[in-house]
Chain A
Amino acid sequence: MGVVLENISKEFTSADTIQAVKAVSFKVDEGSLVALLGPSGSGKSTILRMIAGLEAPDSGEIYLNGENVTRLPTQKRGVGFVFQNYALFKQMSVFENVAFGLELHKMAPSKIKKRVHELLDRLGLQGLADRFPHQLSGGQMQRVALARALAHEPKVLLLDEPFGAIDAKIRAELREWLRRLHDEMHITSIFVTHDQEEALEICDKILVINEGHVEQAGTPEEIYNHPATEFVAHFIGSMNILSGMVQKDKVPMGPYTFNLNGMNGFQNGDEIRVFFRPQDIYVSRDPKTYALEGTILRTSFLGINMKLDIMAENGSRFSAVIPQYIYHRERLHEGHRVSFQIEELSYVNLREGRQIQRLTVADYEI
């Protein structure tokens, strides 16, 4: 049950360049809230529109609650769709907008009235029933759009960058609020976003989409802590990414340099890319606390944290983020020499492929 895509492919034009969705397959469990997260032009919106039937795939099958809907027109699919720019019916009042789908489903007027007011109450839109879209704020318009999309009890709720046109503060409120609504109504929901924070915060599962394929699918924790590919590592959160070439039996891993003996899978000439998160670095003024040494080039204030730009002895540069209190306790300043350690490090050997390998501190203790 839920939503299933099997080998969905389509060529499409985005910003005047030809793009493609390439044999995408995934499953969204019934009642879950899933994000399609990716940069613009990655094909995530096109995938969503194909689920709604607003675009037709070139090949592949789409199932909603077990029914193959690939060749079913939009109006018969029973989906709810929320557009980035609200797409409210400008000539109709808030009430008429929400009632539109119910009228088409031949519901009795008295029942329509009850259902619409119930939804408006639930979405915090009491008293706005007689307003017209141009009399509402962006946040209100998007809530009306949500009420309208939910009115006919769709099998799946599809949201295309729903909060993209709303300013930051209201956006944070709305997404919390979408999560709460989802928990109350248990409706299978898929939403498209390019905002990772939004996806990480409210979704049960994230599908990272890049260049028309699924880079990685997983829970927010999995995606963040264990990125499967270089793209995901780069795209989600901030990440130190350093490159190096295996030379003279040495493997460069950012500030570390390992001897090749004992390390499997490396050859001279291999191109290595190393990833580690700024918050996975421990820093101390005492040169003996940690194994590696370096110099603080610059510090910047981030609020509860402090960012340090560090240069290691082998010349590699990276950023570390440490809590404010450690920064003060250790009396760290620009120009100071420090010792440091990287708690968790991953790498890609580009000769072998794009999948990321992980090293834990035990692997590289010197």
Chain B
Amino acid sequence: MALVNPRHGQRPLIKYSLISTVVLYLAWLLGLPLLTLLQSIFELGTAKLTEQLLNYDVFHAFGLTLLLCFLAVLFNTIFGTLLALVMVRQNFRGKSLVNGLLDLPFALSAVVVGYMFILLFGRGGWLEGINAFTGIRWVFSIPGMILVTLFVTFPFMVRELIPLLKEVGTEQEEAARTLGASPWVVFWRITLPNIRWGMLYGMSLTFARALGEFGAVLVVGAGIAGATETATIFVFRAMEERLYAGAYGASLILIAIAFILLFAMEMLKKRRKV
């Protein structure tokens, strides 16, 4: 921001060329594809759109996607907060190793993650026994998809909270304890309020990542229509089957959800500064 601040005595030419570079880059990268998508939907017309979108498989796909998003947010909020607290407040052997592992989901290709889970729970895998033990199939099924979604979305909450917890420090908590607060009261009344905006931000990032996940859930779930097909997998299948209206329509819905989410997130970021 400081670069384009006119108060810093910057020459207008530099300022406007910087701004237009950014705008053009974004327009080319984000604006054009979106416009093409809208235009294509318009050309295909609403009749095809409703025909290809309003059916059980599509509803199921969106329902499954939302379920995965919800569970990813739920579990990663609880365990992500816990892990962030441990990483910031406790010292233990191998802490830097854990710190490195936290970023693994960022670095690994989602497809690779999917294959890892298949190897783990599939025939001959280390955890094959769990399938019989729990009576649930953990590969080519929804439980497996939940697991991989948790895996790929895991870093967002932790990575959001660790720097925040470091910044907030422990003095307010210590002050609360000297005033007579038990650890439980300290957590709910001091720690949580101090990190709540960061938590919401982490939740929306987690949700957004789960919403857009494709490779891992496809590999683990096999993308069976009406069963293990998510919204993104539906878009992929619809394209293959030349159901263009359905593909574009579903894409537009996904984009709208993501847009609302990210916009809300920006608002949250502003609130956090207060």
Chain A residues near B171 (CB, 8 Å)? 83, 85, 87
Chain B residues near A88 (CB, 8 Å)? 172, 175
The answer to whether A83 touches B174, judged by C-beta atoms less than 8 angstroms apart, is yes
The answer to whether B193 touches A54, judged by C-beta atoms less than 8 angstroms apart, is no
The answer to whether B179 touches A101, judged by C-beta atoms less than 8 angstroms apart, is yes
Do A80 and B178 form a contact, CB below 8 Å, given A87-B171, A87-B172, A89-B172?
yes
The answer to whether A90 touches B172, judged by C-beta atoms less than 8 angstroms apart, is yes
Alpha-carbon distance A296/B132, docked complex (angstroms):
97
Q: Decide yes or no whether A52 CB sits under 8 A from chain B.
A: yes
Chain A residues near B265 (CB, 8 Å)? none
Alpha-carbon distance A130/B171, docked complex (angstroms):
22
Chain B residues near A79 (CB, 8 Å)? 178
Alpha-carbon distance A145/B172, docked complex (angstroms):
11
The answer to whether A74 touches B177, judged by C-beta atoms less than 8 angstroms apart, is yes
A157 to chain B, nearest CB (A): 10
Alpha-carbon distance A100/B177, docked complex (angstroms):
11
The answer to whether A104 touches B193, judged by C-beta atoms less than 8 angstroms apart, is no
Chain A interface size, as a band, is 20 to 34
Do A89 and B178 form a contact, CB below 8 Å, given A83-B171, A104-B185?
no
Q: Which of A267-325 contact B (CB under 8 A)?
A: none
Q: Which residue of B lies closest to A102 (CB)?
A: B179
The answer to whether A100 touches B176, judged by C-beta atoms less than 8 angstroms apart, is yes
The answer to whether B172 touches A104, judged by C-beta atoms less than 8 angstroms apart, is no
Q: Which residue of B lies closest to A101 (CB)?
A: B179
The answer to whether A104 touches B181, judged by C-beta atoms less than 8 angstroms apart, is yes
Chain B interface size, as a band, is 10 to 19
Alpha-carbon distance A52/B182, docked complex (angstroms):
14
Alpha-carbon distance A83/B171, docked complex (angstroms):
8
Chain A residues near B172 (CB, 8 Å)? 87-90
Q: Decide yes or no whether A44 CB sits under 8 A from chain B.
A: no
Q: Decide yes or no whether B100 CB sits under 8 A from chain A.
A: no
Alpha-carbon distance A73/B180, docked complex (angstroms):
10
Our pick among A77, A83, A152 for the contact of B175 (Cβ within 8 Å) is A83
The answer to whether B194 touches A90, judged by C-beta atoms less than 8 angstroms apart, is yes
Query: Which among A73, A104, A105 has the greatest number of chain B C-beta atoms within 10 A?
Result: A104
Q: Decide yes or no whether A148 CB sits under 8 A from chain B.
A: yes
Alpha-carbon distance A253/B100, docked complex (angstroms):
63
Chain A residues near B258 (CB, 8 Å)? none
Q: Decide yes or no whether A149 CB sits under 8 A from chain B.
A: yes
Our pick among B177, B189, B190, B194 for the contact of A75 (Cβ within 8 Å) is B177
Q: Which residue of A lies closest to B177 (CB)?
A: A74
Q: Which of B179-207 contact A (CB under 8 A)?
A: 179-182, 185, 189-190, 193-194
The answer to whether A52 touches B178, judged by C-beta atoms less than 8 angstroms apart, is yes
Q: Decide yes or no whether A261 CB sits under 8 A from chain B.
A: no
B209 to chain A, nearest CB (A): 28
Q: Decide yes or no whether A264 CB sits under 8 A from chain B.
A: no
Alpha-carbon distance A8/B181, docked complex (angstroms):
26
A77 to chain B, nearest CB (A): 8
What mask results when residues 66 to 102 of chain A are scored 1 for a CB within 8 Å of chain B, else 0? 0000000111111111010101111100000000110
Alpha-carbon distance A101/B180, docked complex (angstroms):
6
A52 to chain B, nearest CB (A): 6
Q: Which residue of B lies closest to A81 (CB)?
A: B178
The answer to whether B177 touches A148, judged by C-beta atoms less than 8 angstroms apart, is no
Alpha-carbon distance A79/B181, docked complex (angstroms):
12
Chain A residues near B181 (CB, 8 Å)? 75, 100, 104
A280 to chain B, nearest CB (A): 43
Do A149 and B193 form a contact, CB below 8 Å, given A83-B171, A104-B185?
no
What mask results when residues 25 to 44 of chain A are scored 1 for a CB within 8 Å of chain B, else 0? 00000000000000000000
Ranked nearest first, the 9 interchain pairs of A and B with the lowest CB-CB distance are A101-B179, A87-B171, A81-B178, A74-B177, A87-B175, A104-B180, A91-B193, A75-B180, A75-B177
**A-B contact list, 13 entries, CB within 8 Å:** A75-B182, A80-B178, A87-B171, A87-B172, A88-B172, A88-B175, A89-B172, A89-B175, A101-B179, A101-B180, A104-B179, A104-B181, A152-B180
| Partner-B contacts on A (CB < 8 A) | 52-54, 73-81, 83, 85, 87-91, 100-101, 104-105, 145, 148-149, 151-152, 158
